[in-house]
A and B are shown apart, each in its own frame.
Chain A
Amino acid sequence: DAGVIQSPRHEVTEMGQEVTLRCKPISGHDYLFWYRQTMMRGLELLIYFNNNVPIDDSGMPEDRFSAKMPNASFSTLKIQPSEPRDSAVYFCASSSQWTSGGLVKNIQYFGAGTRLSVL
């Protein structure tokens, strides 16, 4: 499997522009997560989906941020309008639960991230 694929790897935009980040999860995974990483705040969970349905969006900073998952193989994170303080690395991760030896297991696999710079 190719792993979690994110695009673009780097995005430079001007304040006020719309930014769309894309993610293709690992095939067969039914959970998808969006994280943001900054020096100041570390790794923050923004939102996660289960079977394409948003389950918890309590980490989404404000209404400028929105995320969709139209099907099992694609998700987007959109920022409109973007601001300089949105500059960060955005990661997508996917996971699936399985049972082994009577134990439920769950591992998250991360994409390489999108480095966003808002000027």
Chain B
Amino acid sequence: GEDVEQSLFLSVREGDSSVINCTYTDSSSTYLYWYKQEPGAGLQLLTYIFSNMDMKQDQRLTVLLNKKDKHLSLRIADTQTGDSAIYFCAESPDNFNKFYFGSGTKLNVKP
């Protein structure tokens, strides 16, 4: 079955860039997503990328996709304390409906 892997923790200083990595197994994945979960809240969609793209930029967020290596990354520029949260990577294979989520990366931003 599909397997999405993420490192569990990342700690950065305020103002630095954060890079959260994700690997996935299903080469047929059409869309790949990044969700953010703040304490006590549900998952909020941050951004997504279609599989025929290599990069997508949205303000402070940059998503890079290496389809050959099945590697996805999320870069947050000028990380702020408000970015502290758990970040989930997810893939959506051909049927589009089921999402497969990674275990989440807990980002800690130190002032």
Chain A interface (Cβ < 8 Å from any Cβ of B): 4, 31, 33, 42-43, 45, 48, 50, 55-56, 91, 93, 95, 97, 103-113
Contact = CB atoms under 8 A, between A and B. Distances in A.
Given A48-B97, A50-B97, A106-B31, A42 B104 contact: yes
Interface of B: 30-31, 33, 35, 40-45, 48, 50, 88, 92, 96-99, 101-104
Contacts of B102: 42
Contacts of A105: 31
B50 to A, nearest CB: 6
B101 A106 contact: no
Given A56-B98, A95-B97, A106-B96, 19 more contacts: A4-B42, A42-B101, A42-B102, A42-B103, A43-B43, A43-B88, A45-B99, A48-B98, A93-B43, A97-B97, A104-B96, A105-B31, A107-B45, A107-B48, A110-B42, A110-B44, A112-B41, A112-B42, A113-B42
